[in-house]
Amino acid sequence: MIVPVESRADLVAFIDLPGSLYRSAPGWTPTHRPSDLRFHDPVCGPFFTFGAARSFLARDGRRLRGRITAHVNHAHNTHHGAAVGGFGFLDAEPDPALVRSLLEAAEEWLAAQGVTEVWGPLEYCLYDRVGLQVEGFDRPLPMSAAYHAPGICSILEAAGYRKKRDALTFAVPTPQQVPEFICQVVDRRPIPGLAIRRYEPNRREDEARTVARIIDRAFDGNWLHFPFPEALMRFHAQEMAPILQPVNVLFAEVHGEPIGLVVVVPDLGPLLRATGGRLIPWGLPGLWRQVHTPRELLVVVLAVAPEYHSLGVVGHLMAAMVRTGIQRRCRRVCTTFVDEGNRPMVNAFRRLNGRVYARHRVFAKSLAAVSATPGS
């Protein structure tokens, strides 16, 4: 039976469900449970300031077997002139009938909102986890990537969903020095007025707004991008504050104007797996160690204003990123969502000896055949 999430107890069950499904899976990395509870709360969750969503649980008596959300990102649709909806947080036993029931509940709700096409899995938007895992099930994922049970992909395809785009996660071993091809870009393309500066923690909100402005310029043509909402900016700034140090965020400025940045944070995946997603109180010593002496880093974003792409600013930021990994004696650096169509970035990570560590796929389906159910 598919039922909507309506109470606080339902929400807690929704958040805790992946743990019961995937606890023994080698690739699963839990998320930070308190952050999830805030993120999904309709009262204080940032998505609900610019979008609408409905969450569902699959119940078999007292047993929970799956979950899904359906959402409409009004800010995205306004920006692109679209009528697109999404599904996300699809976690379920790989039973075709069960997964189809969850998808149908999401599709019916979306059709009632006037949506004509559905994309997913998207955990609300580009700035969250993207895609259904289709490769890399046998290895622990970084904290930014969603785990899904093998077999869900074929169920989605049988339900009429087709591939829209793949997102790649790269694992890059930390080199002993900045690679020669990056040095050549930096040396051959000096940029008058260029400076690389570090993040200033005592100006957290101002720095977060600078990050949002750069991302808006850099990703304006991206199919998932929309202007960075203030509420989402504040949420992520607050969530990342405990793990951010000046060395983690590097800004590229030309004559004082911010035109690019790279954000590289400690990957808390191993700690989240050890604590089951509950960092307080038992995870605090481990959190301190991960922040100050991280073994693995995660590239959260690497963005440059498009008019500076040909000037080699990306090379300058990648050189700074590599030096950060060397200075902190990290074993490797993983990336977040790298669009398979972004050939320059894909090629750059491959030249750094990066390998595709995991692959996630976004699917699309027309909702023209789905009838809206009044009162859904």
Delimit the domains of the chain by residue range: 2-167+361-366, 172-360
Has residue 206 got a pLDDT over 60?
yes
- pLDDT tens digits, 293-339: 888 889 999 999 998 887 888 888 988 888 888 888 888 889 988 99
Q: What is the distance between the alpha carbons of residues 298 and 76, in angstroms, rounded to a whole number?
A: 26
Q: What is the DSSP letter of 141?
A: P
Q: What is the distance between the alpha carbons of residues 48 and 50, in angstroms, rounded to a whole number?
A: 5
Name the residue type at position 83. Answer: A
- pLDDT tens digits, 28-64: 999 888 899 999 999 889 999 999 999 999 999 889 9
CB 169 within 8 A of CB 334: yes
What contacts 310, CB < 8 A, 6 or more positions away?
A: none
Q: What is the distance between the alpha carbons of residues 108 and 118, in angstroms, rounded to a whole number?
A: 11
172-360 shares the fold of 2-167+361-366: yes
Has residue 375 got a pLDDT over 50?
no
CATH for 172-360, options being 3.40.630.30, 3.10.129.10, 3.40.190.10, 3.40.1190.20: 3.40.630.30
Give, in words, the CATH class of 2-167+361-366: alpha beta
Provide the 3-class DSSP secondary structure of residue 81. coil
Compute, in degrees rounded to 10, the torsion defined by CA atoms 127, 128, 130, 135. 120
Neighbours of 302 (CB within 10 A): 22
Q: Which pLDDT does position 370 carry in this prediction?
A: 56
Kindly state the average pLDDT of the residues 6-17: 95
Q: Which pLDDT does position 263 carry in this prediction?
A: 93
Q: Which pLDDT does position 271 carry in this prediction?
A: 85
Range with lowest mean pLDDT among 10-24, 85-99, 158-172, 272-286: 272-286
pLDDT confidence tier of residue 374, bands split at 50, 70 and 90: very low
Q: What is the distance between the alpha carbons of residues 331 and 354, in angstroms, rounded to a whole number?
A: 13
